[in-house]
Chain A
Amino acid sequence: MLKNYFKIAIAVLKRRKFFTFISLFGISFTLTVITVAVAFLNKFINEDYPDYKRERSLYVGTMELRNSKEGWLNRSDVSFYFLDHYVSKLQRVEKMAISSGAQASNAFINNKKIVIEYKYTNADYWNVLEYEFLEGKPYGVQDIENANMVAVISEETRDDYFGPNVKAVGKYISADNINYRVIGVVKNVSKTLYNFAGDMYIPYTVSRQKWNEVGLLGNCTAVLLARTPDDVPQLKRDFDQMMSKVPLPDKEFDKAFSNADTYFESVTRRITGDGENSGQNKAIGLLLALLTIFLLLPTINLVSINITRIMERSSEIGVRKAFGASSSTLVYQFIVENLILTIIGGILGLLLSSIAIYFINHADLISNMRLTLSPAVLAYSLLACMLFGLLSGVYPAWRMSRLNVVNALKAQ
């Protein structure tokens, strides 16, 4: 039976080239946009180099101090002191990666200006995050304690500063007129990983900032690594409990919020949330609303084309009914037909997506962001494809099942 549906579907699609073209155009284009959007979202949501341990990681990003009476608030990254003095004492934290926000600086070499965004990190940063070292190694606890003037640089920085593929380890790089000895070179990190992207990484003890100054607001973020994924919810609770006991630094504010978030929460908190609320539901709601609005037009279009196709074939449907096809059989037939069309459109859409992604990657719209058609992206796109096929097929099929046989047979 299915084979027959398939055969008929192909025959119909071949005969009605114009309608097939319109449908395929609509489906493949819609899918391309969705796939590219999913690939982009995937960059923010799914595990990505160098942050591979998201299952047992929690992210501490923002600190928000509020004056609930006057409605003021003060929000920034957390201070090193806060991480060191409170968070590191939590029992379920196996390791903690601390890094400062990237700061831009210049370096001049051969009359060429290079912008270097550097970050201060602790030693465990290299243990929690799995940077890929092209050469050399990270700095360790000893380097931190001795405040050694060493730096790990990115591949991009090495290529700009020392020349493409020149060995950099052991050489000196000058930023802010200070010389650092390069001890490692890592693969570039996509700028979408806000907390981990940088051109140069330096031990925090080298910084002349008063990194151990008492206070909650600062310019650090941290990744808390739990021992097992099962520990994560408890660690979150421990963090909240600890937070409720943190003394407020200032009379000006009466509330302090900081959270240990999952990665997705940490992203949505920056965009749609605040100290109290992770904004996760709001972000998902917004995304869904956007998706619905975007899908509305192609869906209506496909539905009206499908209905036209059905009306055009009303005599065929009448004949099938006369010769013993029940309404449900016909509805299945139509839905199968529509799914086949959607799948062909889906394959075309994936081809178009890979072309679009190729161009986006080459245009380097966001520094070092490389979109990929990973299995997860493919799965989501397939899901969207099926949903789209069903959505645009169900209403016409319902109309078809109600088609009056007598009229349909008269229609020709």
Chain B
Amino acid sequence: MFKHLYKLMWNKRKQNFLLLSEILVSFLVIFALFSFLVYYFQNYQKPKGLDYERVWTVSYDNRQVSKQLDSARLFYDDLERSLKAMPQIREVAYTSANFPYSQSVMNTNVSLGDKVINSVNRYVSGIDYHKVLQMNLTEGRWFYPEDAAAAIKPIVINETLKAEAFGKQSAVGRLFDNHDKTSRRRIVGVVQDVKVEGDYLPSGKAMYTPLDTTDIKWNSFILLKVTEAADANFEGKLYKYLGQRFNNERVEITYMKDLRTAKNEVTLIPMIIFMIVAGFLIINVALGLFGVLWYNINRRRSEIGLRRAIGASSTSVSGQLVSESLILATLSIIVGCFFALQFPLLHVFDVAANVYLYAILLTVLFIYLLVIACSVYPGKQAAAIHPATALHEE
């Protein structure tokens, strides 16, 4: 039976060419959509790696801060102490511009012997950075103030970087060379990945370096973890206080919660638009498929009548028509899979291969369901054809 149907479809390949290409293009669109969805979903399932609630970010213009190292140092130490003394503030940490959910990126590469690891995010972090964000240490420790005196500067790395550099081995105590091999860094701890780009994107490789004397001159961001008592009234007062400290230069306070929402929207809104557009395209295709199948069945009334006359049951007739559509779909799916498999094979994007495999699986399932949904009703209609009338018509 299968062979018979296959022959029938193959002999009609010219007629079915448009239908085939339509299913193929749908396959590719759906594949793209599912690839994104699987990718986002896999990332979404991973822990955020931080607590963004009640974290405020302060950005300020550092023009009025002395560029003299010692006085800058003094100024910032004093500011940190004063802020921490406020009862509404629990933790304080200076940070580079690329704090979680910000718009900034700072990339570097590190080397481990001959191995160069590219695009590692470098986060310049104050001593209490991990406390403000409530990051989870999985190995070793965070920086101590005493580290400043160490001959080899300490760094903390995240699990992704650890996995890439050392695999399953312990990372603590190992050394990284910086990009031009002029200085070395000792790994003192490993933290859980922090999804800095929002909930739907991976954390990437990350290393945290302590804020040192050269960084401090250019610093212009502070992270604050505040208590529940920190209300708008306090925010106003804090704003005024910071304004005075920075000699009335520009100061802005934002909530990390809002930054996260904005960051997620940047990922989600295009995705939602894509889904709406793809959804309509698929409805479009489904209706088209339905119409064409319906017409084909009406045109083949005599053939169906004949089949019924020579003893096919009504279920076998409708089954045949549905199977025919499925064979057509399979032809397109084979071609579609050929294209789709190029993505994991050629590593077109830096995405794990299993994302594509899941996406292909889901797409195949989806296309089959779509085709079945579109052919069941016409198939039923065909089954209802009375052999006598159908044959008489010819």
Contact = CB atoms under 8 A, between A and B. Distances in A.
Contacts of B250: 103, 105, 176
Interface stretch (A146-154, A274-282, A301-309, A323-331): A301-309
Interface in B290-317: 290-292, 294-295, 299
B131 to A, nearest CB: 25
A111 B236 CA distance: 7
B252 interface: yes
B252 A104 contact: yes
Contacts of A111: 232-233, 236
Contacts of A113: 232, 235-236, 253
Interface in A284-334: 294, 296-298, 300-305, 307-308, 311-312
A26 B250 CA distance: 53
Interface in B266-312: 269, 277, 280-281, 283-285, 287-288, 290-292, 294-295, 299
Given A298-B284, A304-B288, A108 B239 contact: yes
A307 B291 contact: no
B135 interface: no
Contacts of B139: none
Interface string B311-341: 0000000000000000000000000000000
Contacts of B269: 365
Contact of B252 (A105, A209, A302, A312): A105
Nearest to A115: B252
Interface in A61-96: none
B291 A18 contact: yes
Interface string A95-131: 0000000011110100111010000000000000000
Residue among A21, A106, A298 with the highest chain B CB neighbour number at 10 A: A106
A176 B251 contact: yes
Nearest to B287: A22
Interface residues of B, number: 38
B230 to A, nearest CB: 12
A29 interface: yes
Contacts of B236: 108, 111, 113
Given A106-B252, A115-B252, A304-B292, A26 B284 contact: yes
Contacts of B147: none
Interface of B: 18-19, 21-22, 25-26, 29, 59, 63, 232-233, 235-236, 239-240, 243-244, 248-253, 269, 277, 280-281, 283-285, 287-288, 290-292, 294-295, 299
23 contacts: A21-B287, A26-B288, A29-B284, A33-B277, A33-B280, A104-B252, A106-B251, A106-B253, A111-B232, A111-B233, A111-B236, A176-B250, A176-B251, A177-B243, A297-B284, A298-B284, A300-B25, A301-B288, A303-B18, A304-B19, A304-B22, A304-B288, A365-B269
